[in-house]
Chains A and B, each alone.
Chain A
Amino acid sequence: MNWLLRLYPRAWRERYEEEMLGLLEQHKVTPVTVVDLLVGALDANLNYNGIAEGVTYMADRLRTGIVMIFCAFMLFGVGWSMLQRLTDPLNQFNAIATSHPEFRVLFDADFIAGCLSFLAFLIGGLPVFFISVRRAIKHKQKNVLMPFGVALSCLVISVIATAVLADWHHIAYALTHIYVFLGGYAVLLALMLTIGTVAVSLMITRTDFQLSELKFVFYPEVVILFCMGVAVVMSTILIIAITAYAPQLFNTQDVGSPMFITGLFCMALGTIFAWMGLKRGQSKGLTS
């Protein structure tokens, strides 16, 4: 019966030939069987593209989901970073946390959840990023290497800007125009973060990943989303508790409550987008 199965398309045979041969060994082959297989071969040649199409479809969905979660995590990270200023000045926070220990518990839980989600982000994201870069270098894919260069430049500029900020005491302009200096740093960092995020998203979108390379990111994605959700819940309770019992904590050295509300909003929005990204990547069979 092998010759009959050779009439089926290669993609079909790669998927079904072995099990079909196993079945034919048990089945009594009659002229009806031969005709049926001939009709089946014709049908497969006309209509079968299922598995190749399915794998590509799944890889595309998973890749889009990864990009969505990446962007969502960046948004979440911005919001989470804003909320870390709640302990500034630390003396004030510690004094209030003595009478309201739940503040410290909530803040620490938010901090730990954020760190764990970042760890999961690195575990899941770095291999995908390196595969993208390695493949782009190997195949000289300019449309991937260019955004990689842009992302790298953004990282370098951000590091230099942060180093300059850390040394602000020795910069004459910063001493006289501290808010302009800080504002400029914040704007530059936001710009670099946005450009870098778009560049990395383009890299991932333009890389031809194999499904097997992307499947393993599902579990880090679940951890990321779970931790993001926990952080949002903890932060919400913390903000409500502070509003009710210690609103003075909102007035830090240089920012007020709008920044913390914005931070919480970014975290919540990021978590919703990440959930959408995870749902998008959950094509049938990806997690099995």
Chain B
Amino acid sequence: MRQSELGRFSDASFLILSSLANGQKHGYAMMEDILAFSGTQLEPGTLYGAITRLEKKGWIEALPMKERRRPYRITIEGVTALRKQVATLEQVTSVGKKRLASLEGF
């Protein structure tokens, strides 16, 4: 996953991909879902900045608009990218846990 292309939107992109991983959602539904599972309130500017990048990279795709709401869904490439990022985060988490364990007593 080339994070550099996502810039400041890399965290938002990860959250969006995670949100879309359990089904298609429109922008507002994504914001609500992300708030629910991560506690992060994404603002519309950040959300759509990330959506444009993810769409351009082919990691998500837009579906036909319904009543001023356009649903998005994750693509196969998006799933692959999300898997890689989750694996990286798991590795970081594992290292973090081990190092925290060695700090017991502080």
Report which A residues bind B (CB closer than 8 A).
12, 16, 18-27, 32-33, 36-41, 43-44, 48, 50, 53-54, 284-285, 288
Contact = CB atoms under 8 A, between A and B. Distances in A.
Given A19-B65, A27-B31, 5 more contacts: A23-B27, A24-B44, A25-B68, A26-B28, A50-B53
B56 interface: yes
Listed residue (A16, A21, A25, A44) with the most chain B CB atoms within 10 angstroms of its CB: A16
B44 A27 contact: yes
DSSP class of B's interface residues: helix, strand, loop or mixed? Answer: helix
15 contacts: A16-B52, A20-B27, A20-B44, A20-B48, A22-B28, A23-B28, A27-B44, A36-B45, A39-B46, A40-B46, A43-B49, A50-B55, A50-B56, A53-B56, A285-B61
**Range class of the B interface residue count:** 20 to 34
Contact of B44 (A12, A40, A54, A285): A40
Contacts of A39: 45-46
Per DSSP, are chain A's interface residues mostly helix, strand or loop, or mixed? helix
B65 A18 contact: yes
A285 B73 CA distance: 13
Contacts of B70: 19
Contacts of B68: 18-19, 21-22, 25
Q: Which 4 A-B pairs have the closest CB atoms?
A: A40-B45, A22-B68, A36-B43, A36-B45
